[in-house]
Amino acid sequence: DADVTQTPRNRITKTGKRIMLECSQTKGHDRMYWYRQDPGLGLQLIYYSFDVKDINKGEISDGYSVSRQAQAKFSLSLESAIPNQTALYFCATSDPDGGYTFGSGTRLTVV
């Protein structure tokens, strides 16, 4: 099993729908992150969490919410999806020394 697992891998949804992207990690790390990547750009930070009780907004949190259900699980929700949220989404976890492990990504298309 992968250290960081994202589900689903691909998703097509309609404008206005609520959608949840899930992430789980087996690294045992406290820190988890959600990023978004638009074509031709680097990753942008949406939300991050340093432990189960800690949630922090990143650069582009508008239109998104997160839930840290357990140390190993960090979910990203789009409450009402819009087409410009079409992107590749990555979840990551990091160790205290700054080493990051990324999931394989979820390709989301909003039509």
Partner 1 sequence: SQQGEEDPQALSIQEGENATMNCSYKTSINNLQWYRQNSGRGLVHLILIRSNEREKHSGRLRVTLDTSKKSSSLLITASRAADTASYFCATDARANQAGTALIFGKGTTLSVSS
Binding site for partner 1 (CB under 8 A): 33, 35, 37, 39-45, 48, 50, 56-59, 88, 90, 92, 94, 98-100, 102, 104-105
- The residues pairing with 89 across neighbouring beta strands, listed in sequence order, are 36, 106
> From the CB of 94, what's the least distance to partner 1, in Å?
7
Closer residue to partner 1 in complex, CB, 20/45: 45
> From the CB of 10, what's the least distance to partner 1, in Å?
11
Determine how many CB atoms are found less than 10 A away from the CB of residue 20. Answer: 15
- The residues pairing with 23 across neighbouring beta strands, listed in sequence order, are 6
Sheet holding 73-78, edge to edge: 4-7, 19-25, 73-78, 64-70
In contact, 7 and 25? CB cutoff 8 Å: no
C-alpha 7/C-alpha 31 separation (Å) is: 19
Closer residue to partner 1 in complex, CB, 39/84: 39
> From the CB of 62, what's the least distance to partner 1, in Å?
14
Closer residue to partner 1 in complex, CB, 9/14: 9
> From the CB of 16, what's the least distance to partner 1, in Å?
26
